[in-house]
């Protein structure tokens, strides 16, 4: 078997459904298997998957939240593919993305891991697509606002390039490299395990590569980044990584880095509490403007969305072709995924200027509208 895909899910049924739709299209010509490990979701994810994808996926049902690393490891141990893809559920992939990456890795046997061009939900390129190992020097420069080295900004976006850190949102691993480097470190509950894995792949003698294939990443819809738990888990992961790989260095080198990590965590927590208090007390600067929804797709999709827009009171416009959609501020372009390929959605969204809100999708099978902020059915 060529490819094993592992998706760990936690309370993101709607995004996971969209992700699986894109993966099934992208693997039509690939000998592959798809694992979904559900970390005890409370949104009926398991029942939905059994009803809709029983024949297409291998479902692992955990009775508790195992964390990202441990859940992935369970599926990796059962998988048999020459390559293993770790994929976030809040993503969707272009139809040609997986074949593009596999073809590159087949031609470059020293490539132990590969990442792709990740797009944010507004179509812009996510800088996290390419990162450097957070050595003490790189970490220090990033913490003082000099992040070009960390995000490897000197590299071109339109051609393959060697990088150091693969994103856990899309992480293609060669089985031989994975066997040599070892599984994900389960000391990391969430965050940081991708950095640790990337570093171990390089230390095992393999290379990590960036490939200009395209996906959209909604960035953490499975977690709440304004919660205390997020701040605690994220910065604790940074401490675990630093202690594991740089704990042997002099105290005079490690102590300032550790203090800086704790300081950043404290500042993030204070900012979170400040804005939460302002919102609770009603200190808002202005009334939020309702977004526009620009629907584009088939006649069937547009008819359904007209009814949906009227029922939900949405500000909406309707277009039969992509070329007719105007550049409009404060708008979601809602694409019909039955008639418009994910590759074309990403390309069209990437052309938009800053100021629009981003990508929306509509599936006539599920009758759901999905954006970064809303699930409307």
Residues ≥6 apart with Cβ < 8 Å to 6: 35, 37, 72, 75, 76, 79, 84, 85, 86, 87
Q: Tokens at residue 106, please?
A: 């087949």
From residue 341, alpha-carbon distances to 34, 207, 297 in Å are 21, 32, 11
Q: Which helix (H) or strand (E) holds 324?
A: none
Whether 94 is in a domain gets the answer yes
- Beta-carbon contacts of 264 under 8 Å, excluding residues fewer than 6 positions away, are 143, 235
Q: What is the pLDDT of residues 317-327, one digit of tens each?
A: 999 999 999 88
- The answer to whether residues 262 and 179 belong to one domain is no
φ and ψ at 331, to 5 degrees?
-135, 150
pLDDT tens across 110-145, in order?
Answer: 999 999 999 999 999 999 999 998 776 666 666 667
72 pLDDT above the threshold of 70: yes
246-265: pLDDT as tens digits: 666 555 555 665 666 566 66
pTM of the predicted model as reported, rounded to 2 decimal places: 0.85
Domain end residue (candidates: 217, 236, 270): 217
Residues 192 and 263 in one domain: no
What number is the average pLDDT over the span 215-229?
61
Query: Which single residue is written with the structure tokens 């909406």?
Result: 316
Task: Indicate if 305 and 263 belong to the same structural domain.
Answer: no
**CA dist list (Å): 7 to 86, 150, 292, 320:** 6, 27, 32, 34
Residue 278 above 60 pLDDT?
A: yes
Looking at the DSSP bridge assignments, the partners of residue 358 are 332
DSSP annotation of 156 reads: -
- Give pLDDT, residue 219: 76
CB 71 within 8 A of CB 39: yes
* 55 vs 355: CA distance, rounded Å: 42
The average pLDDT across 40-47 equals 95
- Same domain, residue pair 315 and 364: yes
**Is 287 within the bounds of a domain?**
no
Render pLDDT for 169-202 as a digit per residue (tens, 0 to 9).
999 999 999 999 999 988 765 566 888 899 999 9
Residue 309 has pLDDT above 70, yes or no: yes
End-to-end Cα distance, the chain: 38
For residue 322, is it within any domain?
yes
pLDDT band at residue 67 using 50, 70 and 90 as cut-offs: confident
Percent of the chain at pLDDT > 70 equals 79
Whether the pLDDT of residue 236 is over 70: the answer is no
Do 69 and 121 lie in one domain? The reply is yes
Residue 194 covered by a domain: yes
Same domain for 210 and 106: yes
pLDDT of 11-25, one tens digit each?
999 999 999 999 999
Bridge partners of 86?
Answer: 6, 171
Do 208 and 237 lie in a common domain?
no
Decide: 69 and 193 in contact? Cβ < 8 Å: yes
Q: What is the Cα–Cα distance from 42 to 249, expressed in whole angstroms?
A: 44
- The pLDDT of residue 23 is 98
Pair (109, 138) in one structural domain: yes
* pLDDT (0 to 100) of residue 329: 86
- Identify the CATH number of the domain in which residue 207 sits: 3.90.550.10
10 and 77 in a single domain? The answer is: yes
The domain boundary residue, chosen from 166, 191, 217: 217
CA distance 197 to 318: 46
**Residue after which a domain boundary falls, among 195, 217, 239:** 217
Domain assignment present for 52: yes
Inter-residue contact 338 to 301 (CB < 8 Å): yes
Where helices occur in 108-215 by DSSP H, the ranges are 136-143, 175-181, 193-203
Residue 227 is predicted with a pLDDT of 47
Do 170 and 131 fall within a single domain? yes
Write out the two tokens for 98.
């997986």
Residues contacting residue 315 through CB under 8 Å, at least 6 positions apart: 290, 291, 292, 293, 309
Domains contained in the chain, number: 3
User: Cα angle vertex 265, ends 251, 147, to 5°?
Assistant: 80
- Note whether 324 and 199 are same-domain residues: no
Predicted pLDDT at 187: 76
The boundaries of the domain holding residue 346 are: 292-376
pLDDT at 231 over 80: no
pLDDT on residue 367? 95
Residues 317 and 269 in one domain: no
pLDDT of residue 194: 87
> Phi/psi class of residue 66: alpha, beta or left (left: φ > 0; alpha: ψ in -120 to 50)?
alpha
List C-alpha distances in Å: 52 to 24, 33, 55: 13, 16, 8
Which residues touch 377 (CB under 8 Å, ≥6 apart)? 366, 367, 368, 369
Domain-embedded: residue 29:
yes
Of the pLDDT bands very low, low, confident and very high (cuts 50, 70, 90), residue 348 is: very high
Measured CA to CA, the distance from residue 377 to residue 370 in angstroms comes to 9
352 vs 301, residue with greater confidence: 301
Is residue 286 domain-resident? no
143-166 tens-digit pLDDT: 667 788 889 999 999 999 999 999
* Higher pLDDT among residues 277 and 109, named by residue: 109
Cα–Cα dist 369/375, whole Å: 6
Assigned domain for 93 exists: yes
What integer best gives the mean pLDDT of the chain?
A: 87
| Low-confidence winner among 172-186, 267-281, 333-347 (lowest mean pLDDT) | 267-281
Handedness of CA 242, 66, 117, 371 (dihedral sign): negative
């Amino acid at each position: 078997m060529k490819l094993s895909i592992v998706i760990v899910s936690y309370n993101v049924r709607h995004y996971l459904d969209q992700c699986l739709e894109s993966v099934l299209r992208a693997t039509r010509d690939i000998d592959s298997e798809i694992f979904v490990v559900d970390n005890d979701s409370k949104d009926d994810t398991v029942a939905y998957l059994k009803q809709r994808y029983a024949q297409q996926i291998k479902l692992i049902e955990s009775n508790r939240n195992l964390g990202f690393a441990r859940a992935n490891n369970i599926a990796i141990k059962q998988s048999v593919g020459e390559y293993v893809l770790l994929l976030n559920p809040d993503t969707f992939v272009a139809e040609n993305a997986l074949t593009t990456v596999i073809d590159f890795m087949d031609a470059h046997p020293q490539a132990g891991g590969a990442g792709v061009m990740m797009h944010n939900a507004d179509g812009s390129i996510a800088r996290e697509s390419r990162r450097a190992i957070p050595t003490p020097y790189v970490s220090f420069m990033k913490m003082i606002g000099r992040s070009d080295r960390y995000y490897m900004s000197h590299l071109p976006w339109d051609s393959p390039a060697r990088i150091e850190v693969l994103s856990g949102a899309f992480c293609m691993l060669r089985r031989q490299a994975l066997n040599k480097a070892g599984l994900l470190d389960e000391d990391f509950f969430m965050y940081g395990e991708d950095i640790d894995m990337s570093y171990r792949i390089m230390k095992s003698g393999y290379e990590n590569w960036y490939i200009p294939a395209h996906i959209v990443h909604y960035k953490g819809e499975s977690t709440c980044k304004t919660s205390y738990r997020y701040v605690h888990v994220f910065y604790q992961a940074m401490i675990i990584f630093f202690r594991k790989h740089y704990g042997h260095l002099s105290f005079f080198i490690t102590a300032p880095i550790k203090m800086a990590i704790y300081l950043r965590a404290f500042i993030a927590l204070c900012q979170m509490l400040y804005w939460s208090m302002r919102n609770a007390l009603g200190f808002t600067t202005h009334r939020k403007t309702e977004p526009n929804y620009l629907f584009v797709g088939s006649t069937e999709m547009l008819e359904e969305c007209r009814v949906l827009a009227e029922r939900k009171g949405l500000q909406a416009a309707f277009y039969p072709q992509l070329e007719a959609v105007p550049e409009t501020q404060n708008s979601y372009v809602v694409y019909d995924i039955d008639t418009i390929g994910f590759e074309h959605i990403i390309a069209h969204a990437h052309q938009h200027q800053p100021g629009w809100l981003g990508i929306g999708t509509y599936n006539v099978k599920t009758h759901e509208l999905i954006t970064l902020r809303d699930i409307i059915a």
